């Protein structure tokens, strides 16, 4: 019950932060303002998040877990490129669920160095797990063979390129089509890099 309450409060703080950050900008928004918007003190805010950057990163944490679970669940005989593309669908599904909010948050994240650094740091953790999964699927040793890590890095880069294009187009383009386009360009590399025969 306590964990459920904690999750609800974190979600409420995240929603409040997104609204403030989208209207005021990252540098202009303070932790105090985020906390006050939901009727709490900065001290109480600190029980849930260390900083305003962490509020945005919180939104990404679950998505990365879902991405890796989706990759692990793909059929073993599926090509690495297809498996990775299906796994990345986790992100596109989240984005199409609330495109206006996602566009605000993503634009803010890509345009704010502190947030971009946290986003890339988070992706580095996802890449570690993706590398392990791809190595298991191809029966490779990820410590001795560079290909699984290369494939996971290429897949995340393809997604990032599509994401930036989507933000540059004001969130009006079909994100899934952009990701398809990016993956089509790198499919041979993904399959080779992941060790597909």
CB atoms closer than 10 angstroms to residue 97: 9
- Cβ atoms within 10 Å, residue 177: 12
Sign of CA dihedral 89, 110, 170, 30: positive
How far from chain centre, in Å, is Cα 24?
A: 23
Where are the strands (E) in the chain, listed by range? none
pLDDT reported for residue 185: 92
Q: Which residues of the chain have pLDDT under 50?
A: none
Interatomic CA distance for residues 85 and 148, integer angstroms: 15
- Residue 194 is predicted with a pLDDT of 59
Cβ pair 35, 42 in contact under 8 A: yes
Please give the distance of CA 142 from its chain centroid, rounded to a whole number.
Answer: 23
CATH of 1-49, one of 3.30.70.1140, 3.40.50.720, 3.40.30.10, 1.10.10.60: 1.10.10.60
**Residue-level pLDDT at 62:** 77
- Looking at residue 196, its pLDDT comes to 57
**Rounded CA separation 185/197 (Å):** 19
d(CA 183, CA 191): 11
- Please give the angle made by the CA atoms of 89, 109 and 165, to the nearest 5 degrees: 55
What's 27's DSSP letter? T
Choose which CATH entry (1.10.10.10, 3.40.50.300, 1.10.10.1100, 1.10.357.10) describes domain 52-193.
1.10.357.10
pTM, 2 dp: 0.82
Q: Where are the domains of the chain?
A: 1-49, 52-193
Provide the pLDDT for residue 195.
57
* pLDDT value at residue 193: 62
Q: What is the pLDDT of residues 115-150, one digit of tens each?
A: 888 888 889 999 999 999 999 998 888 888 888 999
What is the model's pLDDT at position 73? 96
Count of alpha carbons within 13 angstroms of residue 118, beta-carbon side: 19
């Amino acid at each position: 019950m306590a964990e459920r309450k904690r999750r609800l409060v974190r979600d409420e703080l995240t929603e409040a932060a997104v609204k403030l950050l989208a209207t005021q900008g990252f540098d202009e928004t303070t932790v105090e303002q985020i906390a006050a918007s939901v009727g709490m003190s900065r001290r109480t805010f600190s029980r849930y998040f260390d900083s305003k950057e962490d509020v945005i990163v919180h939104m990404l944490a679950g998505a990365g877990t879902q991405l890796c679970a989706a990759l692990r669940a793909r059929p073993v005989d599926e090509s690495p490129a297809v498996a990775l593309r299906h796994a990345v669908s986790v992100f596109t599904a989240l984005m199409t669920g609330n495109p206006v909010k996602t566009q605000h948050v993503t634009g803010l994240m890509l345009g704010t160095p502190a947030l971009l650094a946290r986003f890339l740091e988070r992706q580095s953790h996802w890449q570690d797990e993706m590398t392990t999964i791809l190595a298991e699927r191809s029966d490779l040793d990820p410590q001795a063979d560079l290909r699984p890590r290369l494939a996971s890095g290429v897949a995340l880069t393809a997604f990032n390129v599509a994401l930036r294009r989507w933000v540059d187009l004001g969130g009006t383009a079909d994100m899934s089509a952009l990701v398809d386009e990016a993956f089509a360009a790198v499919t041979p590399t993904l399959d080779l890099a992941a060790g597909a025969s």
